Structure 1
Amino acid sequence: MDASFNKLYSKKIILKDFLENRLSIESKRRAMNDSHAKRFPRPCGLTIHSAVGCNLNCVYCYVPEIFGMNYMVPYGLSGEELILALLSNKYFFPTIYGTYLAFGSITEPFHPIASLKTFEYLYFIDKYLGNPVQFSTKFFLREDQINLFKKYRNISLSPLITLISIKYASILEPNAPKPEKRLELIRSLRKAGFKPFIFYRPLIPYKVFEEAENVLREAKRAGAIGVIIGGFRVTERIVMNLKKIGFTIEANIPKNFKGQYSLHLRKYKDSLIKISREIGLIPFKSACCANTYSILLNKGLRIPCSNLCFQKNFCTNCPVDCKNISVNVEMDDVRSAFKKIMNIEPDSIDIQRNIINISVKKKLSGKRRREIAIIERIFRKKINIIR
């Protein structure tokens, strides 16, 4: 595989110029001032918001605390405005080799309030960008909606169906579609030729975990090919709400914690990985890995995971076999990436199989480290800074 920053950057500039000439002054202003034009990608990719907020009132969800509301409103950008916003983001790059995109982080993308905007955004992402796209959903999709996915020619879709409980779904997710409808969605997606995953997140220890094997078996029977085993971030409100319905998890939580706290769940995750393999599901510890596998299934391309999970403790040795993919990188591309993204001229560059050693004079701040992570995703190699 050849990883070229200059090719991605040139494609980005051409597309950006085209849309700037196409859109009105007001549309350009909205796009360039929007958060999609400014945010850093998360490990799963750059999150795409087709709506803000959620009214499903899932007991374990932190979204109401982010926005201070339990209702939904469609996102304000048009499809082409969203594309211009992304192309205006210095940390975003187009094409299948570029930035992963993720729907479903702060809303339910296929809720009736959000679905039209979601499909509009998907259409224009496919038309202009062609990036890998994942979506996570609890909502059932009709046949005509699934058929819209078949029209996309450039993007690679990674469908994640959120399902953590059958027995307790009615009290954990009171307004969400029933688990049976989500299993039906998995069957419908497989029938239409797609390769869906079960998104087992959050992983709630004790009561919910006790039925995990049954949930995974039902998903496998429905046609899921793999499972993303997520973590669980709690807040004081979430802990209290779970306690009210009989789910006590304080043993995992330090006293007087502030904000959000990620539970330590390694033994539970390891157990689910083992069970998944026995059942015949391919396990993943992160959604970006499932997205990477989807690229192989959908496009026949073996591209290493964008988040470099194969160099961390997140790799589960899926069929992509990222660690054994040779990635060719040119020195001029590395120089250009540091100049365009960080405004830094490296003193020396040493490109090795899995690492790029960079010598710079400046001490790099926290934000600069995050920018290095963007460059790592382009070249699929760890960057080691030497001073």
Structure 2
Amino acid sequence: MVDADQTFVIVGGGLAGAKAAETLRAEGFTGRVILISDERDHPYERPPLSKGYLLGKEERDSVFVHEPAWYARNDIELHLGQFVDRVDRGAKTVRFGDDGTLVRYDKLLLATGAEPRRLDIPGTDLAGVHHLRRLAHAERLKGVLSSLGRDNGHLVIAGAGWIGLEVAAAAREYGAEVTVIEHGPTPLHGVLGPELGGVFAELHREHGVRFHFGRHLTEIVGQDGMVLAARTDDGEEHPAHDVLAAIGAVPRTGLAEAAGLELVDRAHGGGVLVDERLRTSDPDIFAAGDVAAFPLDLFGTRVRVEHWANALNGGPAAARSMLGQDVTYDRVPYFFTDQYDLGMEYSGWAPAGSYDQVVIRGDAGKREFIAFWVREGRVLAGMNVNVWDVTEQIQKLIRSKAQVNTEALADPHVPLDSLVS
């Protein structure tokens, strides 16, 4: 039984941490709730940083999870601009790194998220080299794209993943010249495979983006601290005024590792190992969001999901688990993107080698279709492109594990609901 004398500490001020704090109060917890963030901004959502806010279509205040006054109203002790440098599991304390303050906890949630993977090449210390993970990054990049657009400047993007492509789309809307360097054969190759990556390549080419596939950046060339060009491993030099490193993210596991919590090997995605209740190897410590690697029995694997929906749903699930409720976190992974006039939602889990065919329902050429990744007649994942209000049906198909008729699956006239008996 949880009582008012208990203290629950949340380390991490992103969406997962903020939603966990909200859920603790909504579920009636009357003890202390302490939320610690190493950012100076109130907890915010990350999708607008590469979408609406970056494009200037959404106001800055729209990104925040709650208005600032909400935390005081709900008696959430919010510590902004503070970082935790140690968890003492024996004493059940966390330590603030700036002044050594110790805070005792009864339950602890690690929602430390992820950080951008860095380019390990000469020239990354130049002023025009950027990452996009935090609100401060987006604010800076927004000004850069606007300036590049006015001056017909060049942006080189390392990486054709979701962030790289979304920023490419934003940069082109501002009017900047864009070159994308990608080591794979297509954009999003690791997620969508060769069958669908080409759809995004063609979309961006139509909007003037130049791609160089199968290449790596080897050096960023500069003068007087400013970027002049970016070199690739084929010896080519690409003109650039700014460079964005969009080569993925790594989970922030340092605190958990130092505390002796069990981690997942980096070769398998990394992260803090948790069970279906989002408990770590210490029963009083939980993890949620980008940093947590949880079992997903639906696919017979353990996954770490770096997307908005996982933080949105994982934070509340962890909070309920901290309260002793019977929780099984088994959400179907979901994410979305908006690029130019293309909107897309993806549900499921279908890494390379896990499927034997891709079934298309609709017109891929017109970019109005649903793609299904299928193994032995069972749907592992579905991506709806400019087709809406089908996520529930797609996830129902995935959860059913039913063998479906792939001809019917490809036929837009056959209702998706009818494919699950």
Smaller-chain TM-score bracket: under 0.3
State the TM-score, normalizing by the size of structure 2.
Answer: 0.21
Higher-helix-fraction structure:
1
Considering only CA atoms, is the larger Rg found in Structure 1 or Structure 2? Answer: 2
